[in-house]
Structure 1
């Protein structure tokens, strides 16, 4: 008999939502290692019970899902965070990216999509385009003068996508089998091509210009 597809820590401030997600995921071969009603309790339990993926509501009282992702990233904890929300707001995708979350889904996503997202995050992938990026492009529209100075190489595009996932230079280096200094040089080149010194702004501009 094969083992579970992934083990998950589940956080949502609504007990009924947690119960529904647990029942749904366990039927699909996902093991819920533990549940928490808020981000603080989740982080405390996570110290003693490692999991493959953290599945958290993005909006919770106290420590919310964004703060969970931020604290794990700041602690160099590579456990991927998949955020769920009922809010179809482009800005939330950007906030999730900035916080270091590796995935973002609306709560009305199909059950199979949720299962696949968990499995893919457990395998090291990043899923941060659950909503259309068109509203993002409309809000952060750039003129022709703002187009990149030079075309991007395939490797630069790959690094930009990891930047969009909130990866640090060290994490990008490990993922792409490069020296950290080499990644730093690539990032500098990317920022220069996008005429910005800010990583978050570079990601916004890359989305707007359809580089990623």
Structure 2
């Protein structure tokens, strides 16, 4: 099965629109062990300098956040609690915004996902969280800075989503009023969304 990356133009939309548009798209990672992919079913938007929950709040520019200050459509990976998390950079150059990919529905390379996550997992547990999906797909911190519009880590055309729900983001309790912003989006009824 051959997947083609979306054009770089796909990422040229406001961050909240991109977070919704990513639902149903296919996240693909090619590795030496094989290719694995999944339909994106959950995202969270982070609106840069004004968003207390964003790594770039207050225009904080560090080696970790540097890619966010560049053009949209690039990979922002970072580690949290020993898990690698993957984000899509969005925002014009100098305006650091991003969308966290929170969960996917496994599509191809499912045997590989079981090898990486453990044979005892239910299919719904393979990638129903931001750290689980990166482990399942083989996304690593070293993918930082790659373009999402060419291999080996890319976003391909997806499937239609019937209904999208929105609500507060998860795990950002210390971010003041930002913890209430309804900037988490998910496919309604999907059993692959994180808890």
Q: TM-score, normalised by structure 2?
A: 0.27
Larger Rg: 1
Q: Which has the higher strand share?
A: 2
Higher relative contact order (Cα pairs below 8 Å, separated by 6+ residues): 2
Q: Which has the higher helix share?
A: 1
